[in-house]
Structure 1
Amino acid sequence: MDEKAATSAAELQKTDKLGVIEQTQLLLARLMEGGQEDNDTCQALDKLTKLLNDDAASINKTKSICDVLDDICVDTVLGYLDMRQAESVRYHAILTTSAYFKAAGDKGSRALQTFFFDRVNRGTYDDYIVAFCVAAAVFPVAPEPTIEMFLSEGFLPSLDPLMRRKWKSRKVETACLDMLNAGSMHPECREAIRKYCTDWLEEVVDQDPEELSKAIHSADPDVQETPGSISMRRHSRAVQTLAAVILAKLKVGTLKLPDKPLPLRENLEWSKRHSVEGLAYATIQPTVKEEVAHNPELLKTLVIILGDAPAKSPLTYGALSIFMNLTRYQPVQSEEEKKMNQLKAYANAAGKLAAPNPLNNNEHVADRCKRVFEAGVVPVLVTHSRHGSSASLSLIISIIFSLSVTTNLRGQLAQQGAVNLLIAAWSALPDTDGQAKRTAAQALARILISTDPALVFGGTRARPQNAAIRPLVSILPPDPAAETRDLLPSFEALMALTNLASTDDDTRATIIRVAFPEIEEQLLSSNHLVSKAATELVCNLVESVEGVALYAEDTPKAANRLHILLALADAEDEATRSAAGGALASLTAYEEVGRGVMNRNRGVEIVLGLCSEDNEDLRHRGVFIIHNMISYEGEAGRLSRKEIREKNGLEILKTCAKKSRRSQVVEVTVQALKVLLEED
């Protein structure tokens, strides 16, 4: 470290001993002074970011440090978003800007708009560059005020004469197009850009700069071009490329994309960020999805680009968008939704139904998912999930969700860190982002259904394993925001919880404490698959002391739970009867539960019904329950034996012994018969 850098670092350390207002003032003074090394500027921005984040999080503050940031200070901070600053400085500046908007609220939005329009109204090239760079950079972190700026009367039309000037600033053009590129992500802004900017954007794309250069020289051979920001050339190749990307965004969703996709190798010859963004929009088209997915070299290149991209950057978001487009399954429609869509199609197209593109069917998507996985994307997604924005995290979750559909990829997803990624993402996302949280939980459920928890969570380390429980429980109830109820998340969550509940008593106790009321709701589901999955989960939960207590206590709730379990043992679905029988086989080891079975109307008949099943596993459960009940000591055992005899239990057990072939079933049946044949 040289002497100047060491001095700057020492001065920054001294600010830690001051109050927050004084620290803020000192940092702002250093940033306004300028002339520092980039590393020093980044450090100052980082300290200011921390102060702003702390200010936003504080609930007992008497004064906000945002009161210190007047228009000049805001101008200074936003000025570090200028494209002429070093990339590292711009990256740290956007973090500071984001923290400022979070802390300042409406005041920050007003300050942004004041800054922007003051710069635009000055009308110099320098002011245009800064204003446009700031708008492009802050669009993702402060969309509402930026959208207002875009849609303000007269602003977008004013860009036409600016971009059609004979003498041009390449940096102004690039900054302007960067701003439009960011704005075209929003539907209203995209429509306004389409209305006011399409003509000149097409001119930028179509114009050949080499031909114009030759024409100028033929008219005046003495003209000398310079490589600076002002040039006789109308538009540089980079500007044309960026204009083409914006036009592609404007066309998506409103115009049919050409059947022949863009040459992918040429796309990647563009500047990296713009080529990735262009490809992100191109991969909305099914034919492009297929071409990208079947190009292993290109997929690996995209993985490398994503791995090298800075967190929270447009490049990261663009690369993630490509992988999401490649792996995204079409939403599942209910029969009612299919009929409604058919009716709409008939109404809109005189009965001509547009057939869905076969390249979007599940078979093609599953193949693309496999190819994306093989390109090595998952470890890179895990890394980006730790430092990414909420928007990037949602894309990562969507990609993992799609990959988890393929059963034979789930174990490898777990090995590569997807489980920890999903648990952390579910915890990190705010409750307002409910859909992303549900998607993360469902992807987690799918992986945990197909993997051994002992391998995923490292054996008996209960804490990380228990961390998966709350995300799974969150999707047991139906999605309150959905128009139609989708039972698949509930079903998959129950199966994953059942797998976890097979491990140890601590996990079972946690599931009971966190989720049992909701599990009881699913026991009564009208869907037999959901009811069966909930019953199988209960069968595992009653292996713990806490699970037994739910049914053995002398309370109306416990009695009602036992009533439901007996009803499930008599359900139409065989798998449900088996799970309920397994739970009763564990529970009737306790006399209190056996008494409850006898006290319940038809309780003994239901158990004897299991003994009469054709399925030997069910008969095994039934005779095990009977053996438990007739083996109680004292009055409870005597009453059990008496009632079972009266319900034709001897004959039923004799028939069971004759039908059974497995030694375990025959042995317990014979033991039960011996006890019943003895005199009380």
Structure 2
Amino acid sequence: MAVIDEADTTSVVVPSLFNYPPSSLPEELSYLITSFIYTHDHGKRSKAFLVLASYCQGVRASAEPARDGTQDPGTQMLSRIFLPVVQARVADTQEADVLAGLSFLTALFQVDWQTAAEVFRHEAVLASITDILDLYPSELVSREAARLFSQACGHKACRSSLPIEINEWLETAVRQKKDLPLRAIAAVAITKLSRGAGSDGLVESANVSKRLDLAELMKAIIMGEGQDSSLHAVEGLAYLSVEPIVKEDLSKDTAFLKKLFSVVPRSRGTSGTLSDMSNHSLIYGMLNITYHLSAYRPPLSPDQEQIMKLRRMTKSGTTNAQDVEENPADVLDDDPHVKERGRNLVKNGALDILANAIRLADSVGIRITVGRILLNLSVDKENRGKVLQSGGAKTLAEIIRKFFSATTNPAAGQSEVDVSILEPIQALAKLAITSSPTQVFGPDPGAIYDAIRPFAVLLTHSASSLLQRFEAIMALTNLSSHGVEAASRVAHAEGLLTKIEFLMLEDHVLIRRAATELTCNLVAGSENVFKRYSEGNPAKSRLQILVALSDVDDLPTRLAASGALASLTSSPDACRSLYELEQSNHRVLPVLTTLIAPLSGSNEPYISTPPDHAMVHRGVVCIRNFFINLEPNLRNRVKETDLTDLINGLTAIMKGNTGKAEIIQPTAEVLKSLMDLGVVMPGI
């Protein structure tokens, strides 16, 4: 059968494709059957993939919706179209037709796996493919068959249908040493088959020794020459590297890591042959291996930990949860082991190739994987400086920028943001927490301002974890300290203030502390936030929360809350609201007193040490502002309150802070104000 040329693939097939009813194979499409043979020109195969994908999508779009309990109509229609074509080819007596049938079905797995699986599992097709292994022992046919099995073994439906003859053939193909590419492809198929068998419930446990042998084989292939073989070996290791024992082995092999990372040129001006799809796949596989080696085990809730213990008890036969030892595989995935693997990756050049990987093989999948790798490596604080030196912050900012620029309607709200971008944002947040904004984003303030929206998304997204929200708050706190303009922009981020005020009431101490510290920065730096907390009736409840947080047992939280109050009490409106709160619950002045004299009038067990210098400073400023900025008629009423503890505290400050003008001056001013009101000052 004639093979359509490159021009015909795009100019003839695509326009007329959908003019045919999806019950028969269009004549133009029939020529594509021969276009996927692996030895053909890459450009032609790429266009053929595009046409095949378009046709499958068109047929599925025209199919009626599936009814409950019935097979997908789109899959049924496509299977009826492609089954006769594939069946005729794989049963043919000509090797060229057999190659075409095998390669087309392999391509169909990559375009529409449901249809491909249906065709592959057909009794006649499987029988013909099994016969091919004996009838056509040529290198080309063997490799094409192995590629097909590698695709099929990635799907449960096909694994369960695989004849024993194909399993045996794959084992033989892996053991032979004459055809290295065949060996690599067969190893990938066996890897998928063995890993899938465990998840399918076909075997109770994995053969660890066999998987280590496969990993060693693939490492040897990668260390040798031959890009085609390396591509398959990298794909196989991408599957195997989820195993803790394989991760440990790979991460300690310095020569292997350097060879693995060498698939990406270090120089920006060098692209080599990395412009085609096969090399894009090579880069993607390399990144997946790196990701698996650097990935930390997700934290388990107490309930999940108990379930894991019960499962281990069931397997070990013990009846006591205390007697259950941790699985060795679990030990290899604990934080110290992952941290050491991450340091080995950094030491051997993992950070140096990430930006170039995106430049040479840009796609959403590549970007997200690079972001996840940078997140994993940034968990270890020792790596963060190296991440910054390698341009990791710039890479993350570019990943995030491209994501948001591709969003259909960026202004529509955070609900449209896909959860996949949260990890790259979290990676950038980690860097922004431990370094100054200028170190992370450079001297251009625009880059700092651009980071505000992603951090706000990380904070407010419904799928964000508590850790991600905490790190988003910390990063925003750091940005808001960069200046008034930065604080103002943070305050204007959609949904941020409401979320922060909610988290200020969080039971988790670190979350509550971080939210209060950000509020303190925004009160001091944003005029709108200052008004939000000082003007109008709603401000009274917000002030009440700050007063309450100034009396908690966590010192950093008290410092942040009282710092916000020190700024807000410069407003007469805020002082009036505090006066009203004092009249209603009699807690404002006692709390302010504990800031300067924690031992006075407090029954709290945590208040047992001398006052903190920073706390005293905030306290005297709050008290000074309260009495000076309060309206005269209200100030006169305050003197009717029992001010003994307050006066004693102020007096002690005057005697014990000689030379500290920042404390002595506001203390003297408030004492004078009280004396002007006629309040008696014992000892003065």
Q: How does 1:181-200 map to 2 (within 5 A)?
A: 181-193=150-162, 197-200=166-169
Q: How does 1:384-403 map to 2 (within 5 A)?
A: 384-385=357-358, 388-403=362-377
* Residues 390/589 of structure 1: CA separation in 2 closer, same or farther (3 Å cut): same
| Shift of residue 202, structure 1, vs aligned partner | 1.7
| Shift of residue 391, structure 1, vs aligned partner | 3.8
- CA contact under 8 A between 2:184 and 2:221: conserved in structure 1? no
- CA contact under 8 A between 2:108 and 2:115: conserved in structure 1? no
Q: Deviations over 1:245-275 (max 9, x none)?
A: 3112322355222166615334432612122
| Shift of residue 512, structure 1, vs aligned partner | 2.5
Q: Which residue of 1 aligns with 2:515?
A: 534
**Distance in 2 (alpha carbons) for counterparts of 1:391 and 1:402:** 17
| Shift of residue 451, structure 1, vs aligned partner | 2.2
- CA contact under 8 A between 2:296 and 2:338: conserved in structure 1? yes
Q: Which residue of 1 aligns with 2:263?
A: 305
Q: Which residue of 2 aligns with 1:372?
A: 345
| Shift of residue 497, structure 1, vs aligned partner | 1.4
Task: Tell me which amino acid in the other structure corresponds to 1:443.
Answer: A
| Partner SS state of residue 380, structure 1 | helix
1:255 matched to 2:206? The reply is: yes
| Partner SS state of residue 598, structure 1 | helix
* Residues 190/501 of structure 1: CA separation in 2 closer, same or farther (3 Å cut): farther
Q: Deviations over 1:550-584 (max 9, x none)?
A: 1122133x222222122111122221111111111
| Partner SS state of residue 506, structure 2 | coil
1:631 matched to 2:628? The reply is: yes
Q: Deviations over 1:124-175 (max 9, x none)?
A: 333443343344345445444334444455544542222122x434323222
**Distance in 1 (alpha carbons) for counterparts of 2:276 and 2:553:** 54
- CA contact under 8 A between 2:534 and 2:574: conserved in structure 1? yes
Q: Which residue of 2 aligns with 1:172?
A: 141
Q: Which residue of 1 aligns with 2:396?
A: 419
**Distance in 2 (alpha carbons) for counterparts of 1:65 and 1:517:** 53
**Distance in 1 (alpha carbons) for counterparts of 2:307 and 2:287:** 33
Q: Which residue of 1 aligns with 2:577?
A: 596
Q: How does 1:422-437 map to 2 (within 5 A)?
A: 422-424=399-401, 427=404, 434-437=418-421
Give aligned pairs, total: 598
* Residues 267/304 of structure 1: CA separation in 2 closer, same or farther (3 Å cut): closer
Q: Which residue of 2 aligns with 1:81?
A: 36
1:468 matched to 2:442? The reply is: no
Task: Tell me which amino acid in the other structure corresponds to 1:555.
Answer: N
Q: Deviations over 1:493-517 (max 9, x none)?
A: 1111111211233433333231111
Q: How does 1:441-480 map to 2 (within 5 A)?
A: 441-462=425-446, 464-476=447-459, 480=463
* Residues 301/408 of structure 1: CA separation in 2 closer, same or farther (3 Å cut): same
Q: Deviations over 1:511-535 (max 9, x none)?
A: 3231111111111111111111100
* Residues 67/565 of structure 1: CA separation in 2 closer, same or farther (3 Å cut): farther
Q: Which residue of 1 aligns with 2:662?
A: 664
- CA contact under 8 A between 2:371 and 2:396: conserved in structure 1? no
Residue in structure 2 matching 1:283, options 236, 241, 255 = 241
Worse-superposed segment, 299-308 or 618-627: 299-308
- CA contact under 8 A between 1:453 and 1:465: conserved in structure 2? yes
**Distance in 1 (alpha carbons) for counterparts of 2:475 and 2:484:** 16
| Partner SS state of residue 593, structure 1 | helix
| 5+ residue gaps, structure 2 | 63-73, 199-204, 266-272, 319-323, 409-414, 599-610, 679-684
**Distance in 1 (alpha carbons) for counterparts of 2:342 and 2:381:** 12
| Partner SS state of residue 40, structure 2 | coil
Task: Tell me which amino acid in the other structure corresponds to 2:620.
Answer: V
Q: Deviations over 1:307-344 (max 9, x none)?
A: 56457643233212211121111222223221211112
Q: Which residue of 1 aligns with 2:532?
A: 550
**Distance in 2 (alpha carbons) for counterparts of 1:140 and 1:469:** 39
| Shift of residue 470, structure 1, vs aligned partner | 3.5
| Partner SS state of residue 164, structure 1 | helix
**Distance in 2 (alpha carbons) for counterparts of 1:637 and 1:170:** 96
Per the normalisation by structure 1, the TM-score is 0.78
Task: Tell me which amino acid in the other structure corresponds to 2:220.
Answer: R
Worse-superposed segment, 379-388 or 619-628: 379-388
**Distance in 2 (alpha carbons) for counterparts of 1:169 and 1:525:** 68
* Residues 193/354 of structure 1: CA separation in 2 closer, same or farther (3 Å cut): farther
Worse-superposed segment, 309-318 or 176-185: 309-318
Residue in structure 2 matching 1:410, options 381, 384, 393 = 384
Q: Which residue of 2 aligns with 1:501?
A: 480
Q: Which residue of 1 aligns with 2:596?
A: 611
Q: Which residue of 2 aligns with 1:215?
A: none
Aligned CA-pair RMSD: 3.6
| Partner SS state of residue 510, structure 2 | helix
**Distance in 2 (alpha carbons) for counterparts of 1:114 and 1:466:** 55
Task: Tell me which amino acid in the other structure corresponds to 1:413.
Answer: V
* Residues 118/595 of structure 1: CA separation in 2 closer, same or farther (3 Å cut): same
Q: Which residue of 2 aligns with 1:245?
A: 188
- CA contact under 8 A between 1:397 and 1:436: conserved in structure 2? no
Per the normalisation by structure 2, the TM-score is 0.77
Task: Tell me which amino acid in the other structure corresponds to 2:629.
Answer: Y
* Residues 206/590 of structure 1: CA separation in 2 closer, same or farther (3 Å cut): same
- CA contact under 8 A between 2:351 and 2:387: conserved in structure 1? yes
Q: Which residue of 1 aligns with 2:133?
A: 163
| Partner SS state of residue 38, structure 2 | coil
**Distance in 2 (alpha carbons) for counterparts of 1:401 and 1:675:** 55
- CA contact under 8 A between 2:3 and 2:34: conserved in structure 1? no
Q: Which residue of 2 aligns with 1:655?
A: 652
| 5+ residue gaps, structure 1 | 1-31, 53-63, 210-235
Q: Which residue of 2 aligns with 1:133?
A: 103
**Distance in 2 (alpha carbons) for counterparts of 1:670 and 1:196:** 95
- CA contact under 8 A between 1:81 and 1:130: conserved in structure 2? yes
Task: Tell me which amino acid in the other structure corresponds to 2:430.
Answer: R
* Residues 311/446 of structure 1: CA separation in 2 closer, same or farther (3 Å cut): farther
| Shift of residue 289, structure 1, vs aligned partner | 2.5
1:346 matched to 2:304? The reply is: no
* Residues 650/432 of structure 1: CA separation in 2 closer, same or farther (3 Å cut): closer
**Distance in 1 (alpha carbons) for counterparts of 2:241 and 2:26:** 42
**Distance in 2 (alpha carbons) for counterparts of 1:562 and 1:48:** 71
- CA contact under 8 A between 1:401 and 1:439: conserved in structure 2? yes
| Shift of residue 492, structure 1, vs aligned partner | 1.3
| Shift of residue 544, structure 1, vs aligned partner | 0.9
- CA contact under 8 A between 2:295 and 2:376: conserved in structure 1? yes
- CA contact under 8 A between 1:605 and 1:647: conserved in structure 2? no
- CA contact under 8 A between 2:17 and 2:29: conserved in structure 1? no
Q: Which residue of 2 aligns with 1:355?
A: 327
**Distance in 1 (alpha carbons) for counterparts of 2:503 and 2:127:** 58
1:567 matched to 2:565? The reply is: no
Q: Which residue of 1 aligns with 2:65?
A: none
Q: Which residue of 2 aligns with 1:216?
A: none
| Partner SS state of residue 422, structure 2 | helix
| Partner SS state of residue 184, structure 2 | helix
Q: Which residue of 1 aligns with 2:202?
A: none
**Distance in 2 (alpha carbons) for counterparts of 1:300 and 1:664:** 58
Residue in structure 2 matching 1:71, options 3, 26, 29 = 26
Task: Tell me which amino acid in the other structure corresponds to 2:624.
Answer: H
| Shift of residue 194, structure 1, vs aligned partner | 7.9
**Distance in 1 (alpha carbons) for counterparts of 2:61 and 2:123:** 21
